[in-house]
Structure 1
Amino acid sequence: MGDFFASLLYPLEWVVAWIMVTAHTGLEAVGFDPAGGPAWVLSIVALVLVIRTALIPLFVRQIKASRQMQIIQPELKKVQDKYRGKNDQASREAMTKETMELYKSSKTNPFASCLPILLQMPIFFALFRVLNGIRSGRGTGPFDQTLVEQAQQARIFGSELSATFLDPTGPWTYLVAAILVVVMCLSQFYVQKMLMTKNMSAAALDSPFFKQQKMLLYILPIVFAVSGIGFPIGVLLYWCVTNLYSAVQQTIVIRNLPAPGSPAEKELEARRLKAATRKSERTGRPVHEILGKPEPLPVAVADPVKRAQPKRQPKSKRRPGAA
């Protein structure tokens, strides 16, 4: 089974190694020390940029799927309410059928949001094997013996890129690995938290889908923390840079293409209104025209305030001689 898995990953290992070697060659050409840590760290950063750029079409699909899921949340809730409290087999099958028909009619795939991270896992394992090969003195693909030796000498804050917390090459490995594991977990938590708090509508927050996402929000960092101590420093670095890339990418998308009914959409509308108001003051054009919206209905004029009529005082309080 292990040999089959290795043979399955080998083409991807070769691609990962080729990207790193190409980036390393370019960095060496501009003056970086080929055996220095910065050259190999930046090679891993280049790997992240290339992989994430290649995954942009899937990321766009993920965003569209997420938006569509939120749009159909009210309809999903109606289906769930319809069969709430009915635990017989026929009701469960009917609810599943109606849910799948709703997904089909709205052209929504609930699993599309998981595609980017699922497709990154093989790359993650491929990099893991490439770094382990370097540590054992074995190169993958374009890694010749000279490059393997240079990569073995590379250090980041005193630790080898192929070292792990569980298998350190020096005292600094414990500190570097621990810091990277913490950064990896916190950045993963931040990316998911931002998505859930800024880009979900009220209907989505009340759905079973959100409850599952909320559970994963706290479970995944724990899983990464436990497994992270066995990852090579280079893999931890790759994951941290990937999370940073995701945070920046997600911030831009949420700011400019928020989900309907989400807090981010309200913030976007407020920014547009503010910008339109400033432009209206400069140009004299109506705000609604700048926003491309229909002219607002005229505000009804309030009834004029009626003049207060003096009250007649009782005879006992009138002044003498008053009528």
Structure 2
Amino acid sequence: MSVLAPVKDALAGILSLTHSALTALGADPGGGLTWLVCVAVVVVVVRSLLLPVTVSGVRQAHAAARARPHLRELSKRYQGKRDAESLRAMAEERQAIAAEHGISRLGCLPLLLQIPIWISLYHLLSDVAAGTAVGAMDGGLVASLGTATLVGVPLASRGYAGAGPVHLAVVAGLAVTAALLQFATQRYLVGSNTNTADLPEAMATAQQWVPALSAGGMLLAGGVVPVALLVYWVCSALWTTGQTAVIVRWFPTPGTPAHARLLARAPGAA
């Protein structure tokens, strides 16, 4: 059994429970709209449960920004000193600075915990779209999803071509929408909330390519994943864009362009 099986089963339970609730309210069990809402609900539930991790990440980014000048000064003071005593003293001072500003020893570990969830969601929707039962998503529900369509395009279908212009328009439209949302979020929101002043030039340049590369990767993946997963990507990208916009506007990282704009908006700002 896969180590991700419990996570997939839990997500399948959310999908199944949402479908049952919608059909109890009169929705068409095999309707495309019903399954689109089910996928959107999974996104909302999962991202809501992960909000504490997001808040922790924002706090850690702020703590790291406050500590950055002190760590930079520490590096200058110990520059060129490689003896054991200096290295030990530098490590102790670094730990003291981290403790003073509230930098967690776990680092980005809480954010990395999200990865198994994203992988499980990908495999869940891929497996179900391929006709494989997963947990509470039994054979009947899998068959229902398999026959559901979005403007005539099956949610279980894959690829850009092979089923006419409508199929191409739907798949390309979903993939392009998800890619554009991701690009805009990375380029204009995350970028304005990132301090690149202390980064080496090569890293700063590479970071500028991240939005385009991530969007391009999503466009390529759009040609092989099921339509149901593209719907999930669009819903997830919408949530990410909104969540990031809130963080950038009201809780930006100190020392970034977004933080400078927040200070400029403050009452009494010149």
Question: TM-score surpassing 0.5?
Answer: yes
- The residue type paired with residue 34 of structure 1 is P
Instruction: Report whether the alignment pairs 1:41 with 2:20.
Output: no
Please say which structure displays the higher CA radius of gyration.
1
The answer as to 2:174 corresponding to 1:180 is: yes
Q: Percent identity?
A: 26
How many residues align? The count is 264
Take 2:169 and 2:106, find their aligned partners in 1: how far apart are those partners? Answer: 37
User: Structure 1's 268 and 154: CA in aligned 2 closer, same or farther, altered over 3 A?
Assistant: same
Displacement after TM superposition at 1:21 (Å): 1.0
Tell me how far 1:109 sits from its aligned partner. Answer: 4.7
Aligned match of 1:207: 198
Query: Offset at 1:119?
Result: 3.6
Match of 1:220 in 2: 214
What is the CA distance between 1:36 and its match in structure 2? 0.6
Shift in CA distance, 221/54, structure 1 to aligned 2, threshold 3 Å: same
Aligned to 1:62: 57
Is 1:264 aligned to residue 258 of structure 2? yes
When the two chains are superposed, the root-mean-square deviation of aligned CA atoms in Å is 3.5
Maintained 8 Å contact 2:181/2:237? yes
Return the match for 1:124 from 109, 118, 124.
Answer: 118
User: Which residues of structure 1 form unaligned runs of 5+?
Assistant: 1-5, 277-323
- 2:45 is the counterpart of 1:50: yes
Give the 3 Å change call, closer, same or farther, for CA 106–59 of structure 1 in structure 2.
Answer: same
TM-score (norm 2): 0.80
1:7 aligns with 2:2: yes
* Deviations 1:52-93, CA, capped at 9 Å, x for gaps: 110011000011111122222223433555677x6x999xx7
Residue type of the alignment partner of 1:7: S
Amino acid at match of 1:207: D
Distance 1:169 1:89 in 2: 66
Counterpart amino acid of residue 217 in structure 1: P
**Structure 2 gaps, min length 5:** none
Distance 1:233 1:60, change over 3 A: same
1:95 Cα deviation from its structure 2 partner? 11
Give distance in 2, aligned partners of 1:139 and 1:194. 40
Q: Does 250-259 or 118-127 show the bigger shift?
A: 118-127
Change (3 A) 1:81 1:151: same
**1 CA distance for matches of 2:123 and 2:13?**
14
Determine which structure has greater relative contact order: mean sequence separation of CA pairs < 8 Å that are 6+ residues apart, divided by chain length.
2
Of 37, 43, 68, 1:73 maps to 68
